[in-house]
Amino acid sequence: MRLTAWCLVFNIFNFGIFAQEKKADNYMQNRLYLDAIKSYKKAIKKNETGELHQKIGKAYLYSKDYTNAEIHYKKSLNFENSNDSSFFDYAKILVILNHRKEAKKYFDKYLQAYPKDYLASLYVKSYNSILDSNTSKKDNYTIASLKGYLNTENSEFGAVPFNNGLLYVSENNSDLVNDEKQRSTNTNYYSIFYSSKNETGYSKGKLFDSKINSDWHEGSITVTPDKKEIYFSRTYRNRKSEVMQLVSCEIQGGKLTKPKPFLYNNKEYSIMHPAFSDDGKTIYFATNNPKGKGGWDIYYCKKDRKYGWSAPKPINGMINTAGNEVFPFYKKGKLYFASDGHFGYGGLDILVASENEYYKNIKNLGEPINSSKDDFAIYYADNKKGFFSSNRTTGIGKDDIYTFEELVPAIKVDSASSKLTGIFEYRKVARPNTELIIYDEDGNEVDRIMTNKKGEFIFKKLKSGANYTIKPVEDFDDDADLFITNSRGEKVLLINKNGRKFIYKQLKPSYTENLFPIEEEEPSFLIIPLKGFVFRKLKGDLNAKMEVKVYDDDGHLIGRTYTNPDGTFIFKALTPQNNYHLVIDESDEDFELMIINKGTGNYNRLSHSKKGEFIFQRIKETDEAMLLVNEKNELIRIFQNEKFSLGNILYETNSAEIGIDAAIELNKLYILYRRNSHLSFVIESHTDSQGSDKYNLKLSEKRAKKVIDFLVKKGIPKEKLIGKGYGETRLLNKCGNSSACSPEEHAINRRTEIKLKGDKTVF
């Protein structure tokens, strides 16, 4: 009995520790770091482990208490059950505390334990280059603490010029009635302040405007380039957590209008830190959308004068990482941002990427702009001078605002290039092992080379500014193309053709390096699958893997796939065509080919033609079809009421909200309408089987209405839109009321599909 009682007490004791730790884990998940620290400390008093020390260390790290974070990570090293994966976070904390040699030691230990972590190895390599480099960037900028009384012992950051003063964010706003403080860091909630400029600097800040500031977080803030609007972030509180959303006010007669929410706000994740391009037609912001690369990512929207903001997209190039990218700022073709996901000096560093390099070359601004602490929220007030924020130890408070001046270095002149790099393509496919000859202006052969497996080539020893002619040895038709590539292998220029010869003038490398890469067009949702099977006498009797190619009527290769051993195949994404020419890679003429016609649902046995070619007439003259223009400005025909699935128009359980990913897809519908004003759209929304039939029907109708409301705001006339809700009556799988399905299986059924209707095509 005594042993049983002791075991019972022991189990209750362990359960209490587990419950306390789980409670702390939940606090961490909701970013309530101080609450998490309290719960972890209670758990560690009962059972001290290396893992708990690491968890407390991470909570201190996220609440920016780096000294205590180091203490607990260091303690965790004394326990056998500590996790080697913590070495990386520990090393980054040591960087922030300026213990650089010790940081290097733990970076190396992490890579020894996890040698396949490619991103970490890049980070460490870049960090080591900072430590070992003798070429400091300290001469690129001069910095100074902001003069006057704006900075206090609390946090001030995110300065933006406004009316001979500065708008900025500060936590210096105690609520004497509610005494509300943010639970994550036990500080006052951030508000937007204004400070005027005088002879001695900037005055002590005052709350900016009662229309903007509330009892919760506001900021950061920015002013549109035309000075007609301000955009800022505001806290929205739901049952689970707090999220930030974008809000805007117009400036009319020196006063602000009532704040309006941004079209793409989402109650499930935050959108904050707004910034604008020089012309005001692009807005950039940071979001922790769970479908991003991790942490916070930078997204953007484009503005159309008539139809407003387009759907948000993640910034292209190499800016977003698994870490945090925040506080974007755009100036003259360059996007500045703060990040802890790229290599740096510690904490958040300010980096920059150029639009004309497609945001693929990330540069750290270096010291003195960056330090071992958090440096962020840069703003150029003119071409050379501006403001940034930092919590470096030389400041007055937690975060302070600093001024900077850029010292522009002398311009270096690029030397002439002696080589030409490029890619040779035939019918839009890279052509390997193709011999190319280059001739000078007098027709003399200069060099000849073979393209590699990727169709790439390089000609050397060429004169800058000289004219050359390039000709393939093999006699290709007009569908051959030759592209120039830059040093990163990106296609930047299409060489002019004269018949079947390519005429080219050798350019300086500075020219080709600054060209925009040729963008691949986004795939349209106007794509169809094409299913079928190859057989001899009966389906499944092939027992071979065969290549199947498909061409359009003009002979362009538009798809390539392989059969399964039983002869079945599928082209998942083809442009709709009247006819498809399918070619089998075998010379055997005994096999047959069957196609499943998406438009009719029928099987079509194709007649066999010469050289293994089969012709599938998808749309016949008697079919109800219509003509439209796709996003590539190609004329295509589709069936009346043909159904297309928009990707990512999926929903959370019991939700009808349209998120960023759904908005991106719905924006394609708007683009299609602008090219085809004769079209009408039938919006069909569906639910999963969870909940009653009656509830699901109403929910699907609500989802269809949400989509229509969104598209009407974009500019599609309401009479062109028809909404239908089908509830759970058209499930895509077997997840009915009595089925035991996973959340992922149920999610497939929560969708919206589009039917297109239009004028009948006259063949």
Same domain, 78 and 223: no
Tell me the pLDDT of the chain averaged across its residues: 80
Domain at 566, CATH number = 2.60.40
Please write down the long-range contacts of 241-247, taking CB distance under 8 Å and 24 or more positions apart: 241/30, 241/31, 242/216, 242/217, 243/267, 243/268, 243/269, 243/270, 244/217, 244/270, 244/271, 244/272, 245/270, 245/271, 245/272, 246/271, 246/272, 246/274, 246/285
332 is a domain residue:
yes
Residue that has been written with the tokens 């929910």 in this structure: 699
The closest alpha carbon to 343, from 92, 79, 670, 695, belongs to 92
Same domain, 132 and 180: no
What φ, ψ does residue 179 adopt, rounded to 5°?
50, 45
Same domain, 47 and 89: yes
If you average pLDDT over residues 201-211, what whole number do you get?
89
Rounded distance between C-alpha atoms, residue 310 and residue 671, angstroms: 10
Domain at 116, CATH number = 1.25.40.10
Residue that terminates a domain, selected from 79, 103, 137: 137
Split at pLDDT 50, 70, 90, the class of 599 is very low
5 is a domain residue:
no
Domain at 179, CATH number = 2.120.10.30
Rounded distance between C-alpha atoms, residue 40 and residue 746, angstroms: 36
Same domain, 114 and 185: no
Rounded distance between C-alpha atoms, residue 614 and residue 596, angstroms: 14
Query: In terms of pLDDT, which residue wins out, 35 or 508?
Result: 35
pLDDT at 173 > cutoff 60: no
pLDDT at 72 > cutoff 70: yes
Same domain, 179 and 296: yes
669 is a domain residue:
yes
Rounded distance between C-alpha atoms, residue 301 and residue 311, angstroms: 6
Question: What pairs with residue 698 in β-bridges?
Answer: none
147 is a domain residue:
yes
Same domain, 232 and 349: yes
Task: Quote the strand ranges of 410-552, DSSP E.
Answer: 419-426, 429-430, 435-439, 445-450, 456-460, 467-472, 480-485, 491-494, 496-498, 501-505, 528-535, 547-551
Q: DSSP H helical segments within 535-574, as ranges? A: none
Split at pLDDT 50, 70, 90, the class of 650 is low
pLDDT at 3 > cutoff 50: no
400 is a domain residue:
yes
Q: How many of the other CB atoms lie within 10 Å of CB of 261?
A: 12
If you average pLDDT over residues 167-195, what whole number do you get?
65
Number of helices and strands (H, E) in the chain?
11, 49
413 is a domain residue:
no
219 is a domain residue:
yes
Same domain, 396 and 471: no
Lowest mean pLDDT among 146-150, 293-297, 418-422, 540-544: 540-544
Rounded distance between C-alpha atoms, residue 24 and residue 18, angstroms: 10
Same domain, 377 and 468: no
Q: What is the pLDDT of residue 9?
A: 41
pLDDT tens-digit readout, 358-380: 787 788 888 899 988 899 999 99
User: Is residue 360 classed exposed, middle or buried when 0-12, 13-18 and 19+ CB atoms within 10 A define those classes?
Assistant: middle
Same domain, 262 and 369: yes
Report how many domains make up the chain: 5
3-state SS class at 264: coil
3-state SS class at 308: strand
Domain around 646: 625-757
pLDDT tens-digit readout, 705-726: 888 988 898 889 999 999 999 9
Beta strand pairing call for 229-237 and 218-223: antiparallel
Q: Are 103 and 73 in contact (CB under 8 A)?
A: no
Lowest mean pLDDT among 389-393, 420-424, 508-512: 508-512
DSSP 8-state code for residue 355? G
pLDDT at 655 > cutoff 80: no
Rounded distance between C-alpha atoms, residue 187 and residue 173, angstroms: 10
Domain at 649, CATH number = 3.30.1330.60
pLDDT at 663 > cutoff 80: no
Residue that terminates a domain, selected from 137, 156, 186: 137
Same domain, 343 and 378: yes
Same domain, 473 and 602: no
pLDDT tens-digit readout, 297-335: 999 998 877 668 888 889 987 888 877 899 999 998 899
Same domain, 291 and 377: yes
Q: What is the pLDDT of residue 15?
A: 44
If you average pLDDT over residues 615-627, what whole number do you get?
84
Q: DSSP H helical segments within 401-528, as ranges? A: 509-513
3-state SS class at 650: strand
333 is a domain residue:
yes
Q: Are 648 and 662 in contact (CB under 8 A)?
A: yes
Q: Residues of the chain with pLDDT > 70: what percent?
A: 80
pLDDT at 732 > cutoff 60: yes
Rounded distance between C-alpha atoms, residue 176 and residue 169, angstroms: 19
CB within 8 Å of 743: residues ≥ 6 apart:
none
If you average pLDDT over residues 96-113, what whole number do you get?
83
pLDDT tens-digit readout, 400-442: 999 999 886 543 433 445 688 999 988 667 888 899 999 988 8
CB within 8 Å of 177: residues ≥ 6 apart:
none
Residue that terminates a domain, selected from 385, 406, 427: 406
Q: What is the pLDDT of residue 451?
A: 94
3-state SS class at 560: strand
Split at pLDDT 50, 70, 90, the class of 526 is confident
Query: Chain centroid to CA 275: how far?
Result: 17
- Helical axes 50-62 vs 2-29, angle rounded to 10°: 20
Rounded distance between C-alpha atoms, residue 85 and residue 66, angstroms: 18
